Chains A and B, each alone.
Chain A
Amino acid sequence: MAPVLPLVLPLQPRIRLAQGLWLLSWLLVLAGGLILLCSGHLLVQLRHLGTFLAPSCQFPALPQAALVAGAVALGTGLVGVGASRASLNAALYPPWRGVLGPMLVAGTAGGGGLLVITLGLALALPGSLDEALEEGLGTALAHYKDTEVPGHCQAKRLVDELQLRYQCCGRHGYKDWFGVQWVSSRYLDPSDQDVVDRIQSNVEGLYLTDGVPFSCCNPHSPRPCLQNRLSDSYAHPLFDPRQPNQNLWAQGCHEVLLEHLQDLAGTLGSMLAVTFLLQALVLLGLRYLQTALEGLGGVIDGEGETQGYLFPGGLKDMLKTAWLQGGVACRPAPEEAPPGEAPPKEDLSEA
């Protein structure tokens, strides 16, 4: 049976491999730590912005998966550091011999699989942000006035703080506020003719004005903020509603939030890709090191050349071996079986 991708490893290249592996493992630890920090940051941001995303949005799954993937990468890196350190020191290596095999399998299957899944999420999920933000922001704006309705009483404060912090107004522009009743009915004077006219002028009976809340105001504007009667050219001196409004924030909160979250997801995605590469290299290196040292029988300082390989045989051979080993374990020892049969089977299992 020919080993898959064999590599001859005399003593010096083995040492070089171990040292390079040590360095790569520390880089992997760093990358895993960075992923933990980045996904933690994203989770905190999503906690604050949770009201503006529709509840059905799957986006929070990305930082949660990245958190686990980062932790696994960190663990793999630490194992790599320990194993490469031990492979250079004859006294330290024996305890690692038994553990390394299962750890490699766990690292490849678990860690690798997790990273691939998370990368897939990082590519697919940001697309769903658009609709989620559309729905979430629409609901928040509609509930701006409901400051005494349980469950929505925080909407006003959150929308105001969002507009102040992210320097945006409305969903796609300040005119979104003209289509929403953002003044609570508690503070509307029912005896005022203007109020009655406005309420009767539309089907749903909403009090709509051409004004915006104070949080839309842009401090960079040279004039004190104009919030009311924004469609009326004669209401304020030197104010033309047809010109772009310098007074208020020009961007809509939808665009700002979308860009912000997509940027964060993109950063996380690129870090995950780099970690995937590093982890693959570390696991490959560890496998070669392990098989080379097994060839020497676990003696580190042996001067002889050994071969490191990925798999002892091709896929078919591996499956056959696994099947036979499983079969031998299940069936009771065949004492009455003819001795002719047993030796060939043993040969097969050894090869």
Chain B
Amino acid sequence: MALLKVKFDQKKRVKLAQGLWLMNWFSVLAGIIIFSLGLFLKIELRKRSDVMNNSESHFVPNSLIGMGVLSCVFNSLAGKICYDALDPAKYARWKPWLKPYLAICVLFNIVLFLVALCCFLLRGSLENTLGQGLKNGMKYYRDTDTPGRCFMKKTIDMLQIEFKCCGNNGFRDWFEIQWISNRYLDFSSKEVKDRIKSNVDGRYLVDGVPFSCCNPSSPRPCIQYQITNNSAHYSYDHQTEELNLWVRGCRAALLSYYSSLMNSMGVVTLLIWFEVTITIGLRYLQTSLDHVSNPEEPESESEGWLLEKSVPETWKAFLESVKKLGKGNQVEAEGADAGQAPEAG
């Protein structure tokens, strides 16, 4: 009992082949789009690798690039097959390759589905990498004269300006680290000496933030120093003041940016439904062309199906063929012995 049998006459076959040809070219286009999306994501991750400790995983963009290329190749091949399918002479060339090609297509669909799933799931590891990287970045903010870290200040400043964020989780992260280099501190000043003595590590901690945390939409000029001291500024209450500095932390800002990128890419990769349809259509085309009821007349009716027998029977047949592969040598050996025995006897 074949699975999902459908009757095909010549016109239907032609329509199926034409429709498949069109869908294959759309898929090639989609493959190109996925390739460029993967490339774009890779470049974006590279750009910010400084704040990700250089340890971010490039698995998603690499797999997207690979999927895009493979999709282009497979679908253009399938398009060619569909184009040739209506010419019996040309189709005879492709006949032996179709079954393995369909098997590869099924595998490709499964891998595509897994990649789409990864796009949605790798958010967690990105969050950890970002948190670590930003903390280190802020620690090295003041080391503008240390070779190898001198660019960190510029990177963090540009990041905070571009993504409209401040600190790791909020602006208070800046209160806990010394972000002003000792070179620019006046050690003869009493205030500086007091601050340095006030904590165990001898760091100069202030309740101030760098200028890149300032929000241009604030109605008053930016208050960067003595943020928690209401009396230091006229008509200022740090607990109700919301527009002065960026409120969001850079980890959340970067995470939401990359998440939205990967989500949109995951959606596009759901073109697997397209691919599944193409594989099913190709299977119908193959079976209907292979089993034309009257081989002399190519215009006659035929039947197409997904599987020749029902699913459990097909599975049994598959297992049998696998077992036979293993027993292949044994059968030949027995045959040789049996051949020799009658000769002797």
CB distance from B246 to the nearest CB of A (A): 12
Nearest Cβ on chain B to A227's Cβ, whole angstroms: 7
Bound complex: CA A342 to CA B234 (Å): 100
Query: Does A219 contact B221, Cβ atoms closer than 8 Å?
Result: no
Contact of A219 among B158, B179, B219, B224 (CB under 8 A): B158
Residue B185 at the chain A interface, CB threshold 8 Å: yes
Nearest to B143 among chain A residues (CB) is A222
CA separation between A290 and B296, bound complex, in Å?
57
| Distance (whole angstroms) from the CB of A245 to the closest CB of chain B | 15
CA distance A73 to B152 in the complex (A): 50
Instruction: Provide the residues of chain B in CB contact with A182, threshold 8 Å.
Output: 221
A126 CB within 8 Å of chain B: no
Of all chain A residues, which has the CB nearest B161?
Answer: A164
Complex-state Cα separation, A162 to B310, whole angstroms: 69
Whether A48 is near chain B, meaning CB under 8 Å from some CB there, is no
When the two chains form their complex, are residues A222 and B221 in contact, meaning their CB atoms are under 8 A apart? no
Instruction: Judge whether B19 is part of the interface by a CB distance below 8 angstroms.
Output: no
Please measure, in the bound complex, the distance between the C-alpha atom of A222 and the C-alpha atom of B182, giving whole angstroms. Answer: 12
Evaluate contact between A223 and B154: CB separation under 8 angstroms.
no
Given the complex of chains A and B, what is the CA–CA distance between A192 and B234 in angstroms? 10
A-B contact count (CB 8 A): 74
Contact partner of B145 (CB less than 8 A), chosen from A160, A213, A222, A236, is A222
Contact across chains for A156 and B219 when beta carbons are under 8 A apart: yes
* Contacts A189-B234, A224-B179 given; does A219 touch B153 at CB 8 Å: yes
Chain A hits for B157, CB < 8 A: 219
Please report which residues of chain B, range 199-257, place their CB below 8 angstroms from some CB of chain A when the two chains form the complex. 210-212, 214, 216-222, 224, 233-236
Tell me the residues in window 146-178 of chain A with beta carbons closer than 8 Å to chain B beta carbons: 147-148, 153, 156-157, 160-161, 164
B184 in the interface (beta carbon within 8 A) = yes
Q: What are the residues of chain A within 8 A of B216 when measuring CB–CB?
A: 156-157, 160-161, 164, 215
B contact residues around A220 at 8 Å (CB):
154
Interface size on B, residues (CB 8 A): 31
Say yes or no for A242: interface residue by CB 8 A criterion. Answer: no
Contacts of B235 in A (CB 8 A): 186-187, 189
Question: Could you tell me if A223 and B217 are in contact, using CB atoms closer than 8 angstroms?
Answer: no
Q: Contacts of A224 on B, CB cut-off 8 Å? A: 179-181, 184, 210-211
Check A147/B220 contact, CB under 8 A, given A219-B161, A237-B184, A237-B185. yes
Residues of A within 8 A of B (CB-CB), count: 30
CB distance from B280 to the nearest CB of A (A): 41
Interface string of B276-292 (1 = CB under 8 A from A): 00000000000000000
Interface assignment of A233: CB less than 8 Å from any CB of chain B: no
Closest Cβ–Cβ distance, residue A162 to chain B (whole Å)? 10
In the bound assembly, the distance between CA atoms of A186 and B219 in angstroms comes to: 10
* A187 close to B224 (CB less than 8 A): no
- Whether the pair B144, A187 counts as a contact (CB closer than 8 A) is no
Report the minimum CB–CB distance from B192 to chain A (whole Å). Answer: 10
A213 engages B221 (CB within 8 Å)? yes
A219 touches B220 (CB 8 A): no
Query: Is there contact, CB below 8 Å, between A214 and B222?
Result: yes
A183 at the interface (CB under 8 A from B): yes
Decide if B334 is an interface residue (CB 8 Å cutoff).
Answer: no
B186 at the A/B interface (Cβ < 8 Å)?
Answer: yes
Query: Is A238 in the interface zone, CB < 8 Å from B?
Result: yes
Evaluate contact between A222 and B150: CB separation under 8 angstroms. Answer: yes
Judge whether B234 and A238 touch: CB under 8 Å. no
| C-alpha spacing A214/B225, complex, angstroms | 12
Contact A223:B144 (CB < 8 A) given known A160-B216, A186-B235, A214-B224: yes
Q: Is B183 an interface residue (CB 8 A)?
A: yes
Q: CB distance A227 to B153 under 8 Å?
A: no
A344 to B186: give the CA distance in the assembly, Å: 108
Cβ–Cβ contact B144 & A222, under 8 A:
yes
Contact of A186 among B153, B218, B220 (CB under 8 A): B220
Chain A nearest CB from B146 CB (Å) reads 11
The 7 closest A-B CB pairs, nearest first, are A160-B216, A219-B157, A222-B144, A147-B219, A189-B234, A214-B211, A225-B211
Sample 13 A-B pairs with CB under 8 A, ordered by A number.
A161-B216, A164-B216, A187-B221, A188-B234, A189-B235, A214-B214, A219-B212, A223-B144, A223-B180, A223-B181, A223-B184, A224-B180, A237-B185
Binding site for A on B (CB under 8 A): 144-145, 150, 153-154, 157-158, 161, 179-181, 183-186, 210-212, 214, 216-222, 224, 233-236
